[in-house]
Amino acid sequence: MENRGVTLIELISALAISAILGLIAVPTMSHFIQQQQLRSAAYNLYHLLVNARATAISQQLRVSVWNQNGDWRSGVELFIDSNDNGQRENTETSLYTATDHENIHISGNRWVANYVSYLPNGRAATASGAFQAGTISLCKSGLNDKYQLVISIGGRLRLQKSPSNSCP
């Protein structure tokens, strides 16, 4: 006897098994995508700050990264800070602009709440000239991890992942 195909019962059974497996995989994939979005935002901001420091050293100029609207997630701008105030004026050269990070909470503590500024020697400094050290935290609602960009007294950066109890 020749086999000319599958029966309707076999086809329905295969579709039911596929649907069940799909339903199990969707929540896991959604969680994975959210984790990757957070990780990507953290690494993008890390590399932007590393680039700002390297540019300040190589060009022997003060270079700053600021959050344009007082909120790190609304977008950031890397620029040559010719008047040393940590805010971009129309006369200052913009080197890079990054768009917003949707649904990711990004906040800096007091010293890095609005900007990070690098001197020609690679040290981070405030507008008044004092050393600038601090932590920028990134988290996403529904995830148990957060990323922290830690800026040391010498201006060096460290990216670390840590558990998060809650995300605002």
3-state secondary structure the chain: CCCCCCCHHHHHHHHHHHHHHHHHHHHHHHHHHHHHHHHHHHHHHHHHHHHHHHHHHHHCCCEEEEECCCCHHHCEEEEECCCCCCCCCCCCCEEEEECCCCCCEEEECHHHCCEEEECCCCCEECCCCCECCEEEEEECCCCCEEEEEEECCCCCEEEEEEECCCCC
Q: Would the pLDDT of 86 be above 90?
A: no
Per-residue confidence (pLDDT) for residue 68, from 0 to 100: 77
Average pLDDT over residues 92-101: 84
Q: What is the pLDDT of residue 45?
A: 93
pLDDT of 85 above 70: yes
- List pLDDT tens digits, range 111-163: 999 999 999 999 999 998 899 999 999 999 888 899 999 999 899 999 999 98
Q: Write down the pLDDT at residue 64.
A: 95
pLDDT band at 80 (very low <50, low <70, confident <90, very high): very high
Residue 84 pLDDT > 90: no
Place 87 in a pLDDT band, splitting at 50, 70 and 90. Answer: confident
